[in-house]
A and B are shown apart, each in its own frame.
Chain A
């Protein structure tokens, strides 16, 4: 193992241990790691973006592609946000970014996120297997979850009073459980993602000495 790897791994393990002191209380060590991480992240990102500009955009402008000057200038206007009197500068590129972004998204979103998924949800497979059962359940759960958001339809209007609609209330209750299940599953997935990061960190700490000695 070369010296740069040894130094890199040692710093990693030290930073991990310093970071986890947060579990006892917020310490100076944790704050140091936090600030270093944010600083490194921003610095690295900035270097990469400047690298792209100097390697791709600026040579293209020098080669005669003058149309790139406009987006470059719009990008620079975004820095207007840093000073209050020039803040209005950044609103123009921001409006352009939001508008162009939404325009691009909507184009594909209508088909991919709405039409295709509606068709897929409504395509029931009436087969006596798990796929058939799943397709019926998905449609039922989608309908009940959407019923939960029917705020205007609360019950049967009778004269001046409104009687509760039992069927609608039951569907709404099921919809609530469906939503809770979906949110719970999302949280569990999020937990697994964080756990994966923890496992990676733990491996680095546990196998630090064997790796240093060249045993792994």
Chain B
């Protein structure tokens, strides 16, 4: 006990966490994943969208918390591009274009043609006011796409301008409440269904909205990513990382137990 005290409990906990995370990272255990109703709802909604439906994606990924949303975001993009949907994506985070470029390497666009089946619009600042403006008129916010092509010259955008032109808006990797902006500015006034591939911290906030029917479904951080990978049948970082989450969480529960036992022992 005195040796442990000399080293410092904190440093020992750091070492234990490092080991608990490193071992399952190197040797995959493959613990089973139960798919939540929220992830299943989101998957079913996208899966049942009629062919040719216009889907808006508000890509709100911030580099700082992106690893939490990455598995679900990638799985979501794979699913969306697998289906014959017209996708219009724009960024509400300055980090978004850089992160999306990295993600698109894992997405098979197949025979989909840029400009005809999908369009990437640039980053736009302005938080909730911008989300409201995009619902009113995309042309009012964007004059050209991400690559500088004027919107009027993009065939997909000829019949798309306002929220009513879309069958759904999907908020991806948000860490600053962008889902609530979409609910307030797209769902409430224009009745466009909102889906979310979100981070763990935002997830509990969305549960009441999901129960109330304001959100069609959402994923929960890395765990949600693993669930979505299971649903689309594409193994990725989510399923790999859930093993690490389980072992580190077990270690933490164990440490809480040990700390409580020590406190009780001292009192006796």
Which positions in A face B, CB cutoff 8 Å?
Answer: 23-24, 41, 44-45, 48-49, 51-52, 55-56, 59-60, 100-101, 104-105, 107-109, 111-113, 116-117, 119-121, 138, 182, 185-186, 189-193, 195-203, 206
Contacts and interface: CB of A to CB of B under 8 A. Distances in A.
Contact of A197 (B68, B122, B209, B248): B68
13 contacts: A24-B11, A44-B94, A100-B129, A104-B129, A108-B183, A108-B187, A120-B213, A185-B204, A189-B204, A195-B249, A196-B67, A198-B21, A202-B22
Interface stretch (B42-50, B53-61, B141-149): B141-149
Nearest to A119: B212
B161 interface: no
A120 B211 contact: yes
B124 interface: yes
Given A100-B129, A112-B184, A202-B21, A55 B208 contact: no
Interface residues of B, number: 56
Contacts of A109: 184
B214 interface: yes
Given A192-B249, A200-B67, 11 more contacts: A52-B123, A56-B144, A101-B129, A116-B213, A117-B212, A120-B211, A192-B245, A195-B245, A195-B248, A199-B222, A202-B21
Interface stretch (B76-84, B164-172, B195-203): B195-203
A101 B188 contact: no
A44 B95 contact: yes
A192 B213 contact: no
Contacts of A105: 128, 184
A5 to B, nearest CB: 11
B222 A192 contact: yes
Contact of B94 (A45, A107, A203): A45
Contacts of B193: none
B125 interface: yes
Given A104-B128, A107-B188, A196-B68, A48 B123 contact: yes
B245 A120 contact: no
A69 B48 CA distance: 45
A116 B214 contact: yes
B163 to A, nearest CB: 12
Which applies to chain B's interface (DSSP): helix, strand, loop or mixed? Answer: helix
B65 interface: yes
Contacts of A201: 67
Interface string B1-37: 0000000000100100010011001100000000000
Contact of B221 (A41, A192, A202): A192
Nearest to A191: B252
B244 interface: yes
B70 interface: yes
Of all A-B residue pairs in the complex, the 10 with the closest CB atoms, nearest first, are A108-B184, A200-B67, A196-B68, A120-B212, A48-B94, A116-B212, A193-B200, A108-B188, A192-B200, A45-B94
Interface string B228-242: 000000000000010
Contact of A52 (B26, B124, B180, B248): B124
Contacts of A59: 143
Contacts of B97: 48
Q: Which of B68, B97, B180, B244 has the most CB of A within 10 A?
A: B68
A197 B248 CA distance: 13
B70 A55 contact: no
A202 to B, nearest CB: 6
A44 B94 CA distance: 7
A72 to B, nearest CB: 13
Given A48-B123, A199-B67, A23 B11 contact: yes
A56 B143 contact: yes
A93 to B, nearest CB: 13
Nearest to A186: B204
Given A111-B188, A189-B203, A192-B223, A200 B21 contact: no
Nearest to A196: B68
B134 interface: no
Contacts of B248: 195
A103 B184 CA distance: 11
Contact of A193 (B26, B68, B124, B209): B68
Given A56-B143, A189-B201, A202-B25, A196 B222 contact: yes
A13 to B, nearest CB: 15
A49 B96 CA distance: 13
